Amino acid sequence: MLIIRLVYICLLVTACYLHSHPDHYSTSSKCSGVDMNTARLLFHRVVQQDHPEVTQQIAASLEKHLIPRLNNSPPDIEALRLYLTLPECPLFSDRNNYVTITIPFAKLLLNMKEAPLKVLGNWWSTLEPTVFQRLVELYKEVVVYLLQMHKMGIPSVEQRIFTCFLDTSLRLLEILHMVSERAGHIIQYDKFYIHELDDLIDIRNDYVTWIQRQMYPMGHDGGVTLCRYPFVFDAQAKTTLLQTDAVIQMQMAVDQAQMQNFSSMFMPAVESVNPCLILIVRRENIVGDTMEVLRKSKNVDYKKPLKVIFVGEEAVDAGGVRKEFFLLIMKELLDPKYGMFRYYEESRLIWFSNKTFEDIDLFNLIGVICGLAIYNITIVELHFPVALYKKLLKRKPTLDDLKELMPDVGRSLQLLLDYTEDDLEDTFCLNFTITEENYGATEVLELVPNGEDINVNKSNRQDFVNAYVDYVFNTSVAPLFECFYAGFHKVCGGKVLELFQPNELQAMVIGNTNYDWTELQKSTEYKGEYWADHPTIRLFWEVFHGLPLEKKKQFLLFLTGSDRIPILGMKSLKLVIQPTSGGEHYLPVAHTCFNLLDLPKYTSIETLREKLLQAIDHNQGFNLA
């Protein structure tokens, strides 16, 4: 009797909380007609913690009778409403029911016929974001639960069942992700991220396994790789994937070079090669020296580990020299004085200049250098808008991107779109042209053929805005960006890069400014006689926290080679402070390669402040003398 009562309750729920519009009884493939919040409320009234015996009976009936009897092709569209509403039942969110109710229901959905699943997808796409988010969170929690159980240890005989459960949950999340994307992001992409993954799986090993299965699809054990479902990876996990991919490619390039060198020992015709990409540059000619090396290098050389040597400086490049190299060369290359990039004062950003007298091949080499920075996990100063990263990922810039680069112009175009009066044409007096100033000369350019003769009105204003955005970010700079794009992707293109969202890729390249100085202090390690409460260390942090923001950023530049922090946050900097044997008249010394600070045992706060400021004000160069 209980199963009959339960089915009756479910059908009653789906029948009684239909929206109050005339055709609610003729539910369509586009509209379920269901009020999901009312459904949730009714389910919670039926299943209450105050009556555990009833709850247990309902759970048993769901497990043994209702879900097994649900058809993969419901008899009619109104019966399909049950598939939409059941996850609102609180029993689905109980970890004790994941294996018996929640996962079997997901498997049922995955086995549905194409037509009813398409209708269900249409209904999902019309849900309120909070309701849709509940469904996503439910199966994210299932994935976390399964991975936690697996990490604790599952007997080998149950490995196949675990794999099936995990794959089922992830595949349903994949469908929900596609529904959200097609509907214009019902919820933001980061709502699908499972932040616990870094603690629950070995992301590096998962990536290697995924690559191996792509190369040898018939030779794997059938286990689940999370890389198959990249939408669940957050920025931290994606960064780990990118680092893993870079290490693999570097090792392959080194192995190839060593094989060639081995062959050269027995075959004089085979030329020996360096297993690293070596850049020997002079500070006073850093751009010219770099370009000369890169022009002579082959694509395969870009995949090798990068080593930088400044002429006349004895430092061995363990990372710090490379950091400064990228800092200096990007500052030089992107300087608007060369005319390759245009600086927008209001946004303090740069974009490609469509009027440049420099060799177009330079943009290819700049793209290579930007790619090398990412490939070698080095943050660099690139004052570009997010539009650059969209284009690198083959996505179209929008009006929002123009607002970032040119705020005044962006606001004006938004006013045009929002204008409600009928006198738009007389008020704005626009046609399909754009006016530019280059080197003191004013030029009027048509956005479309015969644009000067086409006035902007209410019916075509969106076309005008689209053409304006397209001109700024695409057509006006097409040959320059194509060269930049080609150079960039010579180094770090591929599937891993495509996993990033544009803003995540930007943070990966230039770092961010989410400074948390307290976190920096907490994550700092100490060596030798120093510990967190050593008198000198206490003085150091008292001085540091009293510095203005610009000096703190200058300290980061002094110690790490960049005044920005990595995408993984302050804690990933892992600063180390150790004592030196010199007296208080010595300055602190930074070992940028290792984020290591040699700090003399100062006993006076005034002396410490004076010496620290002297050190960070003269931070350029890696001469060991």
- Of 34, 133, 16, nearest to 80 (Cα)? 34
Residue 593 annotated to the active site: yes
- The answer to whether 260 and 203 have CB atoms below 8 angstroms apart is no
- Of 498, 476, 480, nearest to 489 (Cα)? 498
Q: What is the dihedral of CA 374, 376, 377, 379, to 10 degrees?
A: -60
d(CA 434, CA 454) in angstroms, rounded, equals 13
The total of other beta-carbon atoms located within 10 Å of residue 382's CB is: 18
Task: Tell me which DSSP letter residue 431 carries.
Answer: B
Number of H helices, E strands in the chain: 28, 10
Residue whose entry in the numeric block shows the structure tokens 């890729």:
505
Give the three-class secondary structure for 584: coil
- Of 486, 449, 79, 148, nearest to 302 (Cα)? 486
Q: Which of 10, 483, 492, 593 is catalytic?
A: 593
- Of 163, 174, 166, nearest to 230 (Cα)? 174
- The answer to whether 100 and 91 have CB atoms below 8 angstroms apart is no
Name every residue whose Cβ is closer than 8 Å to that of residue 69 and which is 6 or more positions away in sequence: none
Per-residue CA distances from 196 to 159, 192, 232, 536, 568 (Å): 21, 12, 10, 38, 14
d(CA 295, CA 457) in angstroms, rounded, equals 50
The total of other beta-carbon atoms located within 10 Å of residue 210's CB is: 17
Name every residue whose Cβ is closer than 8 Å to that of residue 59 and which is 6 or more positions away in sequence: 91, 94, 97, 100, 101
Give, for 239, the enclosing helix (H) or strand (E).
Answer: helix 235-264
Alpha helices, DSSP H, located in 419-534: 424-428, 461-473, 478-492, 495-498, 502-510, 517-523
Residue whose entry in the numeric block shows the structure tokens 């950023």:
553
- Please report the DSSP string for 554-583 in residue order: HHHHHHHS-SSB-TT-GGGT--EEEE-SS-
What angle, rounded to 10 degrees, do the helices at 361-375 and 235-264 form? 110
Cα 518 from chain centroid (whole Å): 25
| Catalytic machinery residues | 593
